[in-house]
Amino acid sequence: MALERMTTAWWGTILILMLMIVSEPILAQRYSGVWQNNTQKERVLLDATWGTLQNNRRELRQRGFRLIDIEVSLKGNVRKYSAVWHSSGGAERVWLDATWAELTAKAKSLSDNQELKLVDVEVYEKSGELRYIGLFRPVSGSPDQILETNMTWDGFKKKQQDLLEERYQLVDIETYIVNNERRYVGIFNKGGTEYTLWRDIDWQCFRAIRRGLEESGFRLRDIEIYRENNKNKFIGLWEQARGNDRLWVLEQSQIFLNKWREFGRDNLRLVDLEVDP
Ligand SMILES: [Ca+2]
Ligand SMILES: [Ca+2]
């Protein structure tokens, strides 16, 4: 009897251990990145608390590094932040937990007073409300900027078409779900270069489009990955530009960081980092 109880407990322990081993990679965070040619130095921080991010920011700032990309992700119920820095110098501002009204007001005042533009926006939910992180940096030529959120795809297409006629370039796109409906955020800069946007495509399709666009002189600038009907869907934003790009998607942190080191040796730096649950 005692032996039987022990055996049952023992098997229970083994089962729990097996479940932990099996479930770990499924629960593990995945990382994706877009790299472009750049000879600046680069630093990356993955899945840090806001406090750790701020400490790194202060320290790196003294060494001439500036944030170029921020990501927000949820690990369990804890919000984590990932970030990329380049040794570019210059100013930077970050605005956390802003409502859209606060973010756009901040964007206006930073643009008017310091010629800083929104270069990266993230949207997430906090206590049931949508909040934004905005990263502001100097942008060459300090172009006029239009920021839009809460657009359905039809709304986005219409806005994009109108702004294309006024020669605005889409430079960042985000997507999120509200009331079971997909919505889009866009940052549009006046002037800029020709661009093309693909969305709602699977990985195979994405790769085929990427090959075609590469041959026509387009370089990947921004990627979004989201789940729909249990499948990964991709958004890609390409712009007409010279130079190389690299893409690495949905990889675990160690493999991603190994790739990051390898690309770094070839003077390729991240222009977009994605963290997916
Ligand atoms: Ca970002
Ligand atoms: Ca984006």
Query: What's the predicted TM-score (pTM) here?
Result: 0.87
Q: Is the pLDDT of residue 115 over 80?
A: yes
Q: Is the pLDDT of residue 74 over 60?
A: yes
Q: Which ligand is nearest to the CA of 83?
A: 1
Residues 71 and 101 in one domain: yes
Which pLDDT value is given to residue 24?
A: 39
Distance (Å) from CA 121 to ligand 2 centroid: 7
- Find the radius of gyration of the CA atoms of the chain: 21
Q: Is the pLDDT of residue 8 over 80?
A: no
Residues 54 and 149 in one domain: no
Q: Which ligand is nearest to the CA of 120?
A: 1
Which pLDDT value is given to residue 76?
A: 81
Residues 84 and 173 in one domain: no
Distance (Å) from CA 24 to ligand 1 centroid: 26
Q: Which ligand is nearest to the CA of 273?
A: 1
Q: What is the tens place of the pLDDT at every residue in 148-172? A: 999 999 999 999 999 999 999 999 9
- Residue 108 φ then ψ, to 5°: -65, -45
Which pLDDT value is given to residue 27?
A: 56
Residues 129 and 39 in one domain: yes
Which pLDDT value is given to residue 87?
A: 97
Residues 129 and 154 in one domain: no
Q: E strands within 61-207?
A: 66-75, 78-86, 93-98, 116-126, 129-138, 145-151, 168-178, 181-190, 195-201
The domain of 154 spans 144-191
Which pLDDT value is given to residue 2?
A: 47
Between 25 and 76, the more confident residue is 76
What span, in angstroms and rounded, lies between the C-alpha atoms of 203 and 231? Answer: 10
Distance (Å) from CA 272 to ligand 2 centroid: 7
Domain count, the chain: 2
Residues 149 and 90 in one domain: no
